[in-house]
Amino acid sequence: MVILTLNCGSSSVKYQVYDWDQKNVLANGIVERVTLGDSVINHKAPGIGDFTQEHECPTHTVAIELILKTITDPKHGVVKNMSMIGAVGHRMVHGGMKFARSVLINDESLATFKELIDLAPLHNPANIMGVEAARHVLPNVPHCAVMDTAWHQSMPESSYMYALPREWYDKYQVRRYGFHGTSFLYTAKRAAVLLGKDPFQTNLIIAHIGNGSSINAVKNGCSFDTSMGLTPLEGLVMGTRSGDIDPGIIFHMMKRGGLHAGEVEKKLNKESGVLGLTEHWADRRDIENAAAEGNKAAQLAQEIEGYRIKKYIGSYYAALGHVDALVFTAGVGEMGPVTRKLATAGLEELGIVVDQDKNAKAKCRNAELDITAKGSKVKVYVIPTDEELVMTEDAFALMNGTYDVHSKYRYQFQDPSYVNKQREAGLVTDLQKKPYLSELIARPPKA
């Protein structure tokens, strides 16, 4: 059986095709510039090769039809026909307070997601378009929604409530929701495996650092606090988002700068973060190169981003009282040694000590790496995330009637012997180019 997962943005559709019986990724890819013109699909199938094709996609329905045509193509495809697709998993950014777990999509649940659009106006509309398009193209297949916010529904009131008029919560659901939950679920379970501990006796601080970034305090295996709030704007310094600011700045700029609400929202979401600090770059690789060449703005952006992460690590350490491991994940977390170095510098008194030689070498998306220094009380891991696998497992279990909340459900990747076949193959190539990575690979303790 094949499970298809879809992650629909406003102008893109990412996808993955997973063979459930063989436990293997058959293909993944993305359709870009959906609705914008000059649309193109980039398709990657291990063992078959990469495939790129320009194809106009004026709607998400056309984009999904293109994906299905590509994955069943006699030359480039990986499945014989669409009847092999047993279920479709959809990323849904915001589930509000309505959903604490993944759900089957029906007319009722889809209507609820539409009611939540005001909570995620930049994300949920695109997610919903993708769901509607996929249900139209594949009407007889179970469709499942996997929410970024569901993981964080375990947070206590003291973590998710804001000190605002109670009416705002009762009437408008203003509270902390948190995001990146699928990534945090995966990395939390994997960290527990590497530690050789029961996940529900494990305390973690997980830093998901990418274009969008957030940090999660995990207490006894469940989300206890997180840096993103009502929206993905709060918290860490990000690629184009400001993260935490004095709310008074908004009123100041509306009065002095003559900006209206929509302009301020655009500035904070799309023109701030490291892009705002450098005025040129949101990609950390560009910033790292510029900083190395002596660009002061790039150097300052790195310092500010690292310092914000470090402050959250310290505050979450205090909130948890005990920490078993600090985990870095997502694009920058997995491939950004400079960011990791700045975020952990000076934390030795907390028992967090990074081996900087290992940290500098730890750039690999195909293995879980241990960059802990000798004598550190707290383990420091770099764990490549796998949100698509969580979506795949949830979709299969919902279809099969075996799914439950993560505290009552065991994922296949929680088995110490679990192997991601695609990453295992990629690691062989990585080790040929970087043999020193073998010394960094984190492995579960022997039973």
Q: Where in the sequence numbering do the catalytic residues fall?
A: 148
Between helix 124-137 and helix 60-71 the angle, nearest 10°, is 50
Helix (H, G, I), strand (E, B) or coil at 379: strand
Angle at 260 between CA 256 and CA 261, to 5 degrees: 120
Bridge partner residues of 176 (DSSP):
none
Question: For residues 267 and 385, what is the distance between their CA atoms, to the nearest angstrom?
Answer: 29
Q: Which residues contact 133 (CB under 8 A, 6 or more apart)?
A: 8, 59, 60, 61, 63, 64
Helix (H, G, I), strand (E, B) or coil at 207: strand
Question: For residues 115 and 110, what is the distance between their CA atoms, to the nearest angstrom?
Answer: 9
Q: Check the CA dihedral 125-281-244-253 and report its sign.
A: negative
Q: Which residues contact 322 (CB under 8 A, 6 or more apart)?
A: 203
Q: Note whether 335 and 363 are within 8 A (CB).
A: yes
Question: For residues 229 and 331, what is the distance between their CA atoms, to the nearest angstrom?
Answer: 21
Residue from 209, 230, 262, 226 nearest 383 by CA:
209
Residue 373 has what DSSP assignment?
P
Pairing type for strands 85-92 and 2-8 reads parallel
Pairing type for strands 222-226 and 214-219 reads antiparallel
Residue 136 has what DSSP assignment?
H
Phi and psi angles of residue 150, each rounded to the nearest 5 degrees, phi first: -60, -40
